[in-house]
A and B are shown apart, each in its own frame.
Chain A
Amino acid sequence: MGKRVAIVGSGQTYHKSARLDVNGIELIHEAVTRALEDTQLTLKDIDAVVIGNMDHFEGINYVDTWSVDGAGACLKPIFKVTTGGTTGSTVAMAGYYTAASGLFDTVLAIGWEKNSESDTTGAIITAFDPIWDRPAFAGAVAGLAVEASVYMHQYGVTEKDAARVSVRDRRHATKNPHAHLRGEISVDDVLNSPMLSYPIKLLDMCPRTDGACAVIFAAEGRAEKITDKPAWVWATATRHNYVYIGDWEPTAGLKTLESASREVYQKVGIREPLKEIDVMELYLPYSFAGLSWIESLGLCGKGEAPRLLWDGVTDMGGELPINPSGGVISCNPIGATALIRVAEAAMQIQGKAEQHQVPDVKVALATGFGGCFWSDIMIMGKQIK
């Protein structure tokens, strides 16, 4: 059995569409510096580093090697993890595993991306099979649009229902100084925005962002010395389920998220997630995911999510606030995106979220989503478990 591990602090850049004033090393350095400030640690306290992004967005390989000045990893153990959209959550899981191993007490996990440096859709396509998938594929937007077509067909869900998700996330983002898009939008704004890939319109979709995030994990015995408010990692799970795009089962719901969530619920004894979890930071890259995927998480029955959204259940002040940070629809530095979910969930438990703090959070859940339909989950709590 591994050691119990907590998140003791984190740091983020102020995420923007293009940070032309810094290169990758300097962007990473900003997030690492803020995480050290947040925890009152110095580099000497860091025993190992895990870092990740998606090489094909910048066209520069081996970030574990070239980033060490900014990552604070000179002459330290460092390795890279890259799993597509889930990179940030996989970096978090690798940080957790490393600290839980008993070999390293304090581990720095870093996710970053400079999406401004390439055509994001073109780069995403290169992650797919060149013979069977690439010729007709149009990246994340098309893959998700196809999922939305099935969800609408099966349950009669509308584009207006989906727009409510964007409205919520963008409203929440107005309280988060680190979010990229901080202007409030209306349902009509979403419905009237340009069509990208039917039924997804511009304001249904996440932006592309430059940014970095760093999270510090510490093992039991060390974590309590760093902070009196550690966010204890209770369980994690990851799921992949197919190779070629056409093997995706065309029925509503994210099967990998359903499977991963049931594993963590069972591990920590959660039966009614809507009642027992206080806040969620979900990797929702587009509006329809905020409906279909919360059904996959077991918050309600299939096709019932629109009711939860319209009733305000997932708004700040609702029974289960989702994405107090503004989520991915408001901010998306891809290799950092899922790590930001983990950092924000931990901030909610630590009581550090300031203007977007949910009162009295005891249990928080973060997710990561990848390319076409793989999932990561991390659940954490105020109590050690």
Chain B
Amino acid sequence: MEKKDYLTISSGDQAQPFEWSVGRYGSRFLTELRDHKKILGIKCPSCGKVYVPPRKVCGRCFVEMSEFVELPPRGTLAAFSVLMFSFVDPETGKERPVPYGYGYVKFDGADNTFPHFLEETDWKKIKIGQRVEAVFEEKRRGHLLDIKHFRIISE
């Protein structure tokens, strides 16, 4: 048989929806983001690290956290890329539009980073250490993408 003679069968367009639990900590973050455009972190009582988004356990200390901390919607760019190739976005089943900037933002007062879209797509204009600020969507629904992207600012 030749290559053209081998058949493939497509899975088609059917979808399998899931309902993922966000939990007590994540729900509070998304609700504050939606209703007040606020960024919430959480502080570990043992090592003092502030994590965004908030979660129950500091994995390093293996202790429960409860102290929520409000953070400014600004920070420093810790790492980045600019996506030029397109791929099937499993969230939508469609090609994700490119180019898009992708950056890890260290919010002022946080110890970890927050990966999200960057407004800038020219990698020559993006530098590690730049100051960035969250741009919020007008209509928010309690989702990570209530932050539209981060834009580079000069301070």
B53/A132 in contact, CB under 8 A: yes
* Interface pick from B1-9, B64-72, B132-140: B1-9
Partner of B91, one of A135, A150, A245: A135
Measured CB to CB, the nearest residue on chain B to A242 is B59
- Size class of the A contact interface (CB-based, 8 Å): 35 or more
Measured CB to CB, the nearest residue on chain A to B81 is A145
Measured CB to CB, the nearest residue on chain A to B127 is A153
Interface digits, B30-54 against A, CB 8 Å rule (1 contact, 0 not)?
A: 0000000000000000000001110
Q: In this assembly, does A198 line the interface, its C-beta being within 8 Å of a C-beta of chain B?
A: yes
* Interface pick from A99-107, A115-123, A340-348: A115-123
Contacts of B3 in A (CB 8 A): 20-21
- Total contacts A-B at CB 8 Å: 117
Interface digits, A138-153 against B, CB 8 Å rule (1 contact, 0 not)?
A: 1101100111111001
* Interface pick from A40-48, A165-173, A227-235, A246-254: A246-254
Contacts of A135 in B (CB 8 A): 91, 143-145
Q: In this assembly, does A243 line the interface, its C-beta being within 8 Å of a C-beta of chain B?
A: yes
Contacts of B96 in A (CB 8 A): 138
Contacts of A199 in B (CB 8 A): 81, 123
CA distance A355 to B83 in the complex (A): 38
Q: In this assembly, does A125 line the interface, its C-beta being within 8 Å of a C-beta of chain B?
A: yes
Given A135-B145, A250-B104, A146 and B79 touching (CB < 8 A)?
Answer: yes
A153/B128 in contact, CB under 8 A: yes
Partner of A142, one of B1, B51, B81, B106: B81
Q: How far is the CB of A373 from chain B (nearest CB, A)?
A: 12
Contacts of B84 in A (CB 8 A): 194-198
Given A131-B22, A136-B116, A246-B114, A149 and B144 touching (CB < 8 A)?
Answer: no
Write the residues of chain B forming the contact surface with A, with a CB cutoff of 8 angstroms: 1, 3, 6, 8, 11, 18, 20, 22, 26, 51-53, 55, 59, 78-85, 87-91, 96, 102, 104, 106, 112-117, 123, 128, 143-145
- Of all A-B residue pairs in the complex, the 4 with the closest CB atoms, nearest first, are A145-B81, A121-B87, A20-B6, A122-B88
30 of the cross-chain contacts (CB-CB < 8 Å) are A20-B3, A21-B3, A119-B87, A119-B88, A121-B85, A122-B87, A122-B89, A126-B90, A130-B91, A131-B144, A136-B115, A136-B144, A137-B115, A142-B83, A146-B80, A146-B102, A147-B79, A149-B80, A149-B128, A195-B84, A196-B83, A196-B84, A196-B85, A197-B82, A197-B84, A243-B55, A245-B115, A246-B52, A246-B113, A250-B106
